[in-house]
Amino acid sequence: MASRELLEKLNDAVARELQVSIQYMWQHILWRGVRGFAVQEELKKIAIAEMKHAEEIAERLAYLGGRPTTEPAPVFVGETLKEMIERDVKDEEAAIKLYKEIIELARKEGDITTARIFRRILEDEEKHHDFFKSLLEEI
Ligand SMILES: [Fe+2]
Ligand SMILES: [Fe+2]
Which ligand has the shortest distance to the CA of 132? 2
- Distance, in Å, from the CA atom of 27 to the CA atom of 78, rounded to the nearest integer, reads 8
pLDDT tens for 107-130 read 999 999 999 999 999 999 999 999
CA of 7 to the centre of ligand 1 (A): 17
CA of 112 to the centre of ligand 2 (A): 22
- pTM (whole model) above 0.85: yes
Sign of CA dihedral 92, 57, 13, 32: positive
pLDDT tens for 79-115 read 999 999 999 999 999 999 999 999 999 999 999 999 9
CA of 96 to the centre of ligand 1 (A): 9
